[in-house]
Amino acid sequence: MVDAIAIRWHGRGGQGTVTACKVFAEACLSDGHYVQAFPEYGPERAGAPIKAYNRVNTKPLRGHYPVLRPDIVVVVDATLLDCIDVTEGAPDEAAFIVNCNPAKCGDLRAKIKAKPSQRVIAVDATHISLATLGRPMPNAPLIGTVTRVSGMLSLQAVLEDIQTNFGKKFSEKVTQGNLEATRRGYEEGVSL
Amino acid sequence: MTKMVAATGNEAIAHAMRLAKVDVCSAYPITPATEIMQRFTAFAADGEVQTEVLLAESEHSAMSACIGAAAAGGRVATATSSQGLALMWEMLPIASGQRLPIVMAVCNRAISAPVNIGCDHSDSMGTRDCGWIQLYSENGQEAFDNMLMAFRIAEHPEIRMPVMVCQDGFITSHSIANIQWLEADAAATFVGSYRASNPLLDIQRPASYGQLALSDTYMEYRKAHEATMGKVPGVLREVAAEFKAVSGRAYDLFESYRLEDAEIGIVVLNSAAGTTKDIIDRYRDRGIKAGLLKPRLYRPFPYDEVAQALKHLKALAVLDRSDSFGGSFGPLYLDIAGALSTCAQRPVMINKIFGLGGRDYMPEQGEHVLDELIQIAKGAPVKAAKEYIGVRG
C-alpha cells in the first residue's frame, strides 16, 4: 500500500464526478487515512466540463490548492479528450483511467499522448452502470477502478464503506447496484 | 475519543450550531454559506434541534431578527457571506452596541463588482470596525472548534459581545476533509446553558434596548465597549483551556509555527496558512530559518502578544487576502505594523495582496515571498512595500 496519492477527476456536470470524488475520500478516511475531496469551484452547469480533486495521505493534509501533479487522472467522459489536455502536470509514472469500451476505443494511448512510462486503463463504466443500476452513472464503477489503480486501500474496504453510507440513504436495491458496479469497475479495467 | 468523519467546513458549522442548541436562527441564503442553513434547517425539520428557524427576506432582516431574538434572551446564530454581510452592515454595530451575544459564521467571499463568488476576505475585513469579535479558521476542524468556543466567549458575563467565525469560502467551506466532532454530551456540557442578563422577555424586570445617547454619554459607551474588548483575550484563553480538556485540541490568540528561532516570517490568515506551513517545512529542511504567525483572534487584535512573537525577525511579509485601495496597505498589514510600531527592534516589513476573488494561493507564491525575505534579511533594499502577487501585468 502507498503512503500518498493525488487524483484529478475530469467529468461533466451531472455525471456524479464530485460525488465519486467524495465517496472515494470517505472510504479512504474509514480506512484510516487523511483525505481531501474538493471540486474546482465555480458556477455549476449540467454538461459543462468540471474538475475535482482528491488527496489521500497517511499524514495530515495542510495544503489548500488544486492538485498540480496527479498520480491518477480519471476521465469520466471520454468526449473530454477532444477538448481538454488531461495530461497537464501528470508525472512520468501517472495513470490515466478513461471511461470507454476497451475494445472500441481505438488507440487511446496515442489519443492521450501518454508517455511509455504512464499507464492507461480503459473501463466501460457507463456500460457497467447501465447493467447494474439501470442508469448511465459511470461514477460507481470508476470508484472501483480508482481503488485498484491507487493501491491505497482494498476493494473490501471500499465496499464496506459504500455499504455503510449508502445503506443509510438509499434502498437495498440501489445500494446493491452500487456495490456491484464498484466491484465490476475494480475487476474490468483493462491496461492498454 | 470521537470518531473522525469526512465533512465540509459548512457541515462543520451546522453541526456546531446543532450541538450548541441554538434557540433562534434567522438567515438568508447566499453562496458559499448557503449549505450551512441547508444542513441546519434539515436538523430542525428532522426534530434534531428545537431551534426557531426564521428564514428572512434579506440579510438586513435576518440580522434584525437575530438582534430581536438575542435581546429577548435567546441563544442566537446565523451565517452569511459577501454581499449578505455587506447588507447586514447597518445592523452589525447595533448588535455589538447593545451587547448581544450573537454568533455568526462567515464564509469569506469577494465583494461585487465585478460579481464573483470566490474567496477573499474583503467581506469580513469591511466589518472589522463594527465592534464584533472576529475569529478566523484555517480549515473545517478549526471552523467547528471556533464556532463552539464562540458561544462561550460571546455569552461570557464579562464580554456579552457578538462573534464572527470566519473561514475561507469554497476553499474550506466546500472542501471535504477529516473532522473530529465532539460528542453531544461533551459539547452540551462545554457550551452550557445560556441565561441572558437583561432579557426583554423578563417582564418582572423591564429593560429597554437601543436608547438615545447623545454627546453627554455616547463616548462613555464607546469607551466601555473598548474596555470590554480588552477582556476578550483573557476569556478566550480560559475558554480554550476548557475546550482542550474536552477535545484534546489546543488554541490560543494566534498560532506560532516554527517562529521562535526564525529570522524571516510570514503572517497570513485562514487556509493559506496551512499551505504556507508546508512551504516553511521545505525551507527549514534547506536550513532556512522561516516561520509563520496565523492570527486567530483578529478583533480585538492582540497587539502586545503579536509584537512579542514577531519583533525578533529580520524580515516579515504580511499576506492580505483583501486590500485597502490606494496608497495604504492591506488591513492585516496595518494591524501588524501597528503592533510592531512600539518595538525598538523590529523586522523590515513588506505587504503582499494575494488570492482575490478565488484566485488560488499556489505554493510558488509563498516560495517567492520567502525568497524575497531571505534577500531583505541579508540587507537587500525593499523593492515594493506593497505588491499584488499571483496576478497578470
Contact B174 A41 (CB under 8 A): yes
**Mean pLDDT within B324-330:** 89
In order along its 192 residues, chain A shows pLDDT tens digits of 678 999 999 999 988 999 999 999 999 999 999 999 999 876 778 899 999 999 999 999 999 999 999 999 999 999 999 999 999 999 999 999 999 999 999 999 999 999 999 999 999 999 999 999 999 999 999 999 999 999 999 999 999 999 998 988 899 999 999 999 999 999 999 999
Q: Mean of the per-residue pLDDT values for chain B? A: 97
Is pLDDT of B137 > 70? yes
| Cα–Cα distance for residue pair B134/B139, rounded to 1 Å | 16
In B111-192, where do the E strands start and end?
133-136, 163-168, 176-180
Q: pLDDT band at B327, cuts 50/70/90?
A: confident
Q: What's the Cα-to-Cα distance from B113 to each of B36, B116, B117, B328, B330, rounded to whole Å?
A: 25, 8, 11, 21, 19
In chain A, where do the E strands start and end?
4-12, 34-39, 49-57, 72-75, 95-99, 119-123, 190-191
- Segment B175-218, tens digit of pLDDT: 999 999 999 999 999 999 999 999 999 999 999 999 999 999 99
Contact A36 B275 (CB under 8 A): no
Contact A34 B5 (CB under 8 A): no
- Which residue type, as a one-letter code, is found at position A147? T
**Is A50 exposed, middle or buried (CB count within 10 Å of its CB: 0-12, 13-18, 19+)?**
buried
**What ipTM was predicted for this assembly?**
0.93
| Cα–Cα distance for residue pair B148/B190, rounded to 1 Å | 8
Residue ranges per structural domain of chain B:
2-247, 254-388
- Segment B84-111, tens digit of pLDDT: 999 999 999 999 999 999 999 999 999 9
Fold identical between B2-247 and B254-388?
Answer: yes
Q: Does B42 touch chain A (CB under 8 A)?
A: no
- Segment B27-56, tens digit of pLDDT: 999 999 999 999 999 999 999 999 999 999
Q: Does A168 touch chain B (CB under 8 A)?
A: no
Q: Does B275 touch chain A (CB under 8 A)?
A: yes
Q: What's the Cα-to-Cα distance from B242 to each of A183, B12, B154, B192, B319, rounded to whole Å?
A: 47, 20, 15, 12, 32
Q: What's the Cα-to-Cα distance from A32 to each of A8, A151, A182, B145, B160, rounded to whole Å?
A: 21, 14, 20, 22, 41
Give the best residue of B176, B275, B354, B367 to mutate against chain A (max A CB count within 10 A).
Answer: B176
Q: Does B361 touch chain A (CB under 8 A)?
A: yes
Min distance A28 CA to chain B CA atoms (Å): 10
Helix (H) or strand (E) holding B317: strand B315-320
Contact B117 A43 (CB under 8 A): yes
Q: Does A1 touch chain B (CB under 8 A)?
A: no
Fold type of domain B2-247:
Rossmann fold (3.40.50)
Helix (H) or strand (E) holding B258: none
**Which cell goes with B330?**
492591506
Q: What is the pLDDT of residue B110?
A: 98
Q: pLDDT band at B326, cuts 50/70/90?
A: confident
| Contact by Cβ (8 Å): A6, A69 | yes
Q: What is the pLDDT of residue B1?
A: 54
pTM for the full predicted model? 0.96
Contact B178 A60 (CB under 8 A): yes
Q: What is the CATH number of domain B254-388?
A: 3.40.50.920
**Mean pLDDT within B221-227:** 97
Phi, psi of A160 (to 5 degrees): -65, -40
Q: Does A64 touch chain B (CB under 8 A)?
A: yes
B172 to chain A: which residues are within 8 Å by CB?
Answer: 64
The C-alpha cell 461533551 sits at B186
Contact B275 A63 (CB under 8 A): yes
Residue B72, number of CB atoms within 10 A of its CB: 17
| Contact by Cβ (8 Å): A145, A184 | no
